Amino acid sequence: MPAPDSEPIRVRRRRWAAVVVILVLLAGGAYWFLGRTPGGAGRNGGFGAMGAMKVPVKIAAAESTPFDVIYTAIGTVTANNTVTVRSRVDGELQKIFFKDGQKVAEGDLLAQIDPRPFQVQLDQALGQQKQNQAQLENARRDLQRYQLLYKQNSIARQQVDTQEALVQQYLGSQKSDQAAVDSARLQLTYTRITAPLSGRLGLRNVDQGNLISSSSTDGLVVITQTQPILAVFTLPQTQLARVLGPLRAGKRLRVDLYDRGDTARLATGELLSVDNQIDVATGTVKFKAQFANEDESLFPNQFVNVRLFVDTLQNATVIPTAAIQQGSIGAFVYVIDENGVAHVRRIQTGPVNEGRMAVSGGLTPGERIVTEGVDRLREGAEVEVVTPESEAEVAKKAAAAAARQAAPGPRGRRPQ
């Protein structure tokens, strides 16, 4: 029969065992957290077996080389000028002289509206002008007679003044008639619709034989000037000062356009202008670049990837972007010393270009940094540098082992 106090002793032992297990788990979690945090990588506390293992990594050396500062953005191609060709008079569209998509030069005839009603108006204005001209000539002759009679004291001065006023009235009518003739002649010229600028036509909106109106919003056709052509894109306001400096100094900044896959270069041009304000909603600034577009590879409203070449840094310290890590201390890399030990090194980052970054501080050219295998590193860890030759040797051994495993055993049987 068990002792009376044996049951409480077992309960106390179980409680102490549970407390010990919880403490061990907390200690293991703290070790794991501190081991993966760069701020805690300076402590060498750890398991002896893990500390003795070398971590396989790939490395690269920091280089001192010229580095292009390039800003990337997504832009939209826009026509240098866009004009909707509309008729200035109403009438029947008699003839169309262009084809859809055709290139035209400024002044080329595009369409003809029935000119007969406007020719009639011009003839009427010319007839009215001749009629008033004849009346003016007659009034002038009468004025000469009245002036001669007045000198002979044959008529009163009032009759001479009345005739002079009549001449002035006909002179005013003469100017009105000339304005009416000019207006009718201008309306007649509007029946010939010509291209206001050089460019490429779109698809026509009105077919031959239809009545065309000057109040139509669609117009006859749209002309876009694509040589040269423009591209509009935005950059963050933090990059504005870096761009404005060389631009205001008169430097021509190169701009390259790439397709939507950002693989094929479509055109090369130069930065043309900068907007005069920052968009407060997005914190960006609009830029406009110009391209010759001689091969017409760019079309209005086309989406493109933009690369703006701002500057070239001479003797910049350049490293692969894959080596850069972010932690509580900011941007850092793992530097390998002469003994093959990894050390955390905080760096000051700079511009990025095609998978490389120019480091403004924290590294010197020639230092070796880890590019692959960073997730298993900590401060003071020993590393084993993996080279392409060693990888090839490992792959060769693995292939040989697989071949031996697949070879048939005695009596044509595969090994079990």
Hey, how many other C-beta atoms are within 10 angstroms of the C-beta on 91? 20
pLDDT score for 11: 61
Q: Tell me: the pLDDT tens digits for 260-275?
A: 888 899 999 999 999 9
Query: Under a CB-based contact definition with an 8 Å cutoff, are residues 106 and 331 in contact?
Result: no
Q: What is the end-to-end Cα distance of the chain in Å, rounded?
A: 57
pLDDT score for 49: 43
Whether residues 307 and 381 fall in one domain = no
CA dihedral 128→134→139→142, nearest 10 degrees, is: -160
pLDDT score for 29: 65
Q: Tell me: the pLDDT tens digits for 302-333?
A: 999 999 999 888 888 999 988 999 988 899 99
pLDDT score for 265: 92
Outline where 152-218 has alpha helix (H). Answer: 157-189
Whether residues 245 and 205 fall in one domain = no
pLDDT score for 390: 60
Say whether pTM exceeds 0.85. no
Query: Under a CB-based contact definition with an 8 Å cutoff, are residues 184 and 198 in contact?
Result: no
The CATH number that applies at residue 295 is: 2.40.30.170
Q: Tell me: the pLDDT tens digits for 12-47?
A: 667 767 766 777 677 666 665 555 544 444 444 444
State the Cα–Cα distance between residues 377 and 54, nearest whole angstrom. 10
Total of domains in the chain:
5
Of the two residues 166 and 407, the one the predictor is more confident about is 166
Whether residues 185 and 159 fall in one domain = yes
pLDDT score for 28: 66
pLDDT score for 396: 63
Residue 149 lies in a domain: yes
Whether residues 254 and 375 fall in one domain = no
Question: Is residue 289 scored above 90 in pLDDT?
Answer: yes
Whether residues 10 and 28 fall in one domain = yes
Q: Tell me: the pLDDT tens digits for 229-270?
A: 999 999 999 999 989 988 888 899 999 999 988 889 999 999
Whether residues 156 and 125 fall in one domain = yes
Whether residues 306 and 233 fall in one domain = yes
Whether residues 74 and 106 fall in one domain = no
Q: Among 170, 189, 208, where does a domain finish?
A: 189
The CATH number that applies at residue 91 is: 2.40.50.100
Token pair belonging to 106: 């400024």
Q: Give 110: exposed, middle or buried? Use CB within 10 Å, 0-12, 13-18, 19+.
A: buried
Across all residues in the chain, what is the average pLDDT?
A: 85
Whether residues 349 and 383 fall in one domain = yes
Residue 118 CA neighbour count, 13 Å, CB half: 20
Backbone torsions φ then ψ of 397, nearest 5 degrees? -65, -40
Query: Under a CB-based contact definition with an 8 Å cutoff, are residues 324 and 333 in contact?
Result: yes
Q: Give the structural domain span for 281.
A: 70-79+226-312
Q: Tell me: the pLDDT tens digits for 194-228?
A: 999 999 999 999 999 999 998 888 899 999 999 99
Whether residues 230 and 307 fall in one domain = yes
